[in-house]
Amino acid sequence: MVKKNSAILYLYDARLCNPNGDPDEENRPRMDYERDINLVSDLRLKRYIRDYLLQKGHELYVQKIDGTPVTSENRIEALGNKDDIVSAAKKAFIDIRLFGATIAKKNDNHSITGPVQFNWGYSLNPVKLLESSITSHFASDAKNVQGAIGKDYRVQYSFIAFSGVISGKRAEETGLSKEDLDLLDEAMVKAIPLLATRSKIGQTPRLYMRFELKDSETVLKDLRNYLSIAKKEGIEDLRDIRNINEFSLEISDLVNYINTQTQNIDNVIYFHDEDLCITLNGEKKSIEDIFSGIRLTKL
């Protein structure tokens, strides 16, 4: 059983794709237009994780059955008659153990707060939006035989950062196991590339770090606050970045903060894509060199 807190830092990039369309904005990528920052909801990230777990053969509480959405009552009814339906649901569905759920059965609602939670993700670089027209081969109606014309919106390049937490106390309440947490680590690295669709292809995980703490009381700050990106020679403006090779990730502030917390950190589970250049005070370094004083587990 998981009993300790964790802090998560997750970075991936999106090139010529739509990381998270906004249905209220013609499915444009979600944006903070005042600062040209690309936004991605926590629900989008959780959907990637759920889809990966489903592909691995795990039964989920939030899923479609034969391609059809089902209600909470449908999923609970599938468990049969149980005296303690909440405990049965936690045992049956890994996504409840991870993310929690609202369980509804015959006007009897139970709200479970999951131990794994993410903030909304945002790009560390200002992002340019690209727009193009697309033509469908299907007619929009019986009179229009030419096909329908629509708009396709994508980001030029977005380097997206997520922050997350795992609550040891809530993990005990939902029954989150070490095996469940191993699957989460695996999904964070593999889900996005394996589940690419037309609008999502072009996304690649670049860095995943889960700082496993020594107890269920300690909480780290949002680790994204200690990151910055530096454009490489030949790039005049961060808005001009088009791929992973045109900038570096500076983490000196993060290292300084983590050095104040080493007594609280038990282990760092991590994945680092070698194409991402990480620098410490401007000098390229590996994760192993940077965090040599902390126990590391490489995925």
Checking if the pLDDT of 196 tops 90, the result is: no
CA dihedral 250, 252, 255, 257 (to 10 degrees): -110
The structure's pTM equals 0.92
Mean pLDDT of the chain: 91
Q: 213-271: per-residue pLDDT in tens?
A: 999 999 999 999 999 999 999 999 999 999 999 999 999 999 999 999 999 999 999 99
Pick the most confident of 60-74, 196-210, 260-274. 260-274
Checking if the pLDDT of 146 tops 90, the result is: no
pLDDT at 133: 62
**What mean pLDDT is predicted for residues 32-43?**
97
3-state secondary structure of 182: helix
**Helix pair angle (178-194, 42-55), 10° resolution:** 100
Q: 49-58: per-residue pLDDT in tens?
A: 999 999 999 9
Band (pLDDT 50/70/90 cuts) for residue 199 is confident
Q: What is the DSSP letter of 86?
A: H
Judge whether 21 and 28 are in contact, CB under 8 Å: yes
Decide which of 71 and 123 is more confident: 123
pLDDT at 140: 53
Checking if the pLDDT of 86 tops 80, the result is: yes
